[in-house]
């Protein structure tokens, strides 16, 4: 039976002509959009969106809104960042309400800062609407918390990819191996072998739990659970695909108790995924 509910919304700011709103769409599920994000979709005249924005979110655009794709398609190189920024400036100068829509959060490995700086330099007024980043919300859809009192007091968000496609050389992998209790790596699949190799060489135990969460918070979500030592091989063997976030550390073990999506499909959850109570009762 379907019931009709009325969603009561707080007062939201007007989307003024000549403004650019830089909005994060979240990792996939349209239900994870913020109210400001949904409001922007309903009001914008033109929407400049990336490849990571789910189709079901684009469908929330007002009828008649102009849709401009600014991502990579079919292996072709993506539009150059300066071209995208220049386009945003031009559209705003035309007096349009410009929605720049990005996957996840615009300020997390999303180049939102660069685009906003270009707008600032051009004197274009803009608003930033944060979104749920894949490295937190996407992991949550796989039943993996970014932090948990029993496993980690720190978490590092890392990019596994530089603009040119190589493993970032500015990252001190050995320091991460020593210091980070949990690692969440974006854009990691292509270089998974190099990355896991650097971390093991830096002293991280090869048995450390790893989860690869592909297309998180979409219908196509897949999760590969493995270990640091076996991740590179398992990624290839499983054929798991980008976009994916890679979680490394004991937080991954919590999935046995927190895989709420799995539970909806009949998975039995382990209420003691870290074995704390078992240890206590036997020790």
Backbone φ, ψ for residue 190 (5° rounding):
-60, -40
Q: How far apart (Å, rounded) are the C-alpha atoms in residues 61 and 79?
A: 22
- Residue nearest ligand SAH (C-beta atom): 104
Judged by beta carbon, residue 96 or residue 259, the one nearer ligand SAH is 259
Judged by beta carbon, residue 46 or residue 142, the one nearer ligand SAH is 142
Backbone φ, ψ for residue 96 (5° rounding):
-90, 165
Q: How far apart (Å, rounded) are the C-alpha atoms in residues 47 and 52?
A: 14
Judged by beta carbon, residue 68 or residue 184, the one nearer ligand SAH is 184
Which residues are at the interface with ligand SAH (CB under 6 A)? 27-28, 52, 102-105, 108-110, 133-134, 138, 186-187, 213-218, 242-245
Cβ at position 163, least distance to ligand SAH in Å: 12
Catalytic residue chosen out of the listed positions 102, 105, 187, 259: 187
Cβ at position 109, least distance to ligand SAH in Å: 4
Cβ at position 239, least distance to ligand SAH in Å: 16
Cβ at position 263, least distance to ligand SAH in Å: 20
CA angle 20, 100, 247 (to 5 degrees): 135
- For β-strands 209-214 and 244-249, DSSP reports them as antiparallel
Judged by beta carbon, residue 96 or residue 192, the one nearer ligand SAH is 192
Are 23 and 37 contacting, i.e. CB atoms less than 8 angstroms apart?
yes
Tokens of 167: 């493993």
Backbone φ, ψ for residue 104 (5° rounding):
65, -130
Active site residue 50: yes
Are 109 and 19 contacting, i.e. CB atoms less than 8 angstroms apart?
no
Catalytic residue chosen out of the listed positions 72, 83, 150, 272: 72
Active site residue 187: yes
Enzyme catalytic residues: 50, 72, 187
């Amino acid at each position: 039976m379907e019931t009709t509910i009325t969603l009561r919304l707080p007062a939201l700011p007007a989307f003024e002509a000549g403004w650019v709103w830089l909005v994060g769409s979240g990792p996939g599920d349209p239900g994870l959009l913020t109210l400001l994000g949904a409001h922007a979709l309903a009001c914008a005249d033109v929407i400049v969106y990336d490849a990571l924005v789910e189709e079901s979110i684009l469908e929330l655009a007002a009828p008649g809104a102009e849709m401009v794709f600014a991502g990579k398609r079919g292996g072709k190189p993506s539009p150059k960042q300066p071209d995208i920024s220049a386009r945003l400036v031009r559209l705003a100068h035309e007096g349009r309400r410009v929605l720049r829509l990005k996957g996840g959060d615009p300020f997390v490995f999303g180049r939102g800062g660069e685009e906003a700086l270009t707008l600032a330099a051009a004197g274009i007024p803009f608003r930033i609407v944060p979104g749920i980043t894949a490295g937190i919300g996407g992991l949550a859809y796989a039943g993996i918390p970014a932090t948990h009192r029993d496993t980690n007091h720190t978490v590092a968000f890392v990019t596994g990819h530089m603009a040119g496609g190589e493993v970032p050389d500015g990252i001190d992998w050995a320091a991460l191996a020593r210091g980070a209790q949990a690692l969440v790596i974006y854009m990691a699949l292509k270089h998974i072998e190099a990355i896991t190799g650097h971390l093991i060489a830096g002293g991280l135990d090869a048995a450390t739990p790893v989860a690869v969460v592909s297309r998180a918070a979409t219908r196509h979500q897949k999760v590969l659970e493995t270990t640091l030592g076996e991740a590179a091989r398992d990624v290839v063997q499983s054929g798991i695909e980008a976009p994916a976030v890679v979680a490394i550390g004991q937080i991954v073990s919590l999935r046995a108790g927190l895989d709420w999506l799995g539970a909806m499909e009949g998975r039995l959850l382990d209420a003691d995924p870290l074995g704390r109570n078992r240890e206590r009762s036997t020790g």
